Amino acid sequence: MCEEPVNFLLFCIEFYKNIHNMEGARVYALFDLYKVTDFILKHHETLHIEGPHAIIKQLDEFIANSQKN
């Protein structure tokens, strides 16, 4: 795996944690449950050009849609 997507993934986790006032372990469990990490890595090229708040909005929407399935 290329270093850039991994750094972007870490940025997303940290920013998500701070925006939602969550502990890292809780974010990890949430991302693991709904395969958010896979989503971030798969869509890295398009996500990384968006602003941080737009990224969080997309992640929240992805999680909400995953919960429905």
* Residue-wise pLDDT tens digits, 14-56: 999 999 999 999 999 999 999 999 999 999 999 989 999 999 9
Q: Please give the angle made by the CA atoms of 66, 16 and 25, to the nearest 5 degrees.
A: 85
**pLDDT of residue 57 exceeding 60:** yes
C-alpha to C-alpha distance for 18 and 44, rounded to whole angstroms:
20
Q: What's residue 59's pLDDT?
A: 97
**pLDDT of residue 2 exceeding 70:** no
Q: What's residue 3's pLDDT?
A: 67
Total domain count for the chain?
A: 1
Q: What's residue 68's pLDDT?
A: 86
Range of the domain at 58: 3-68
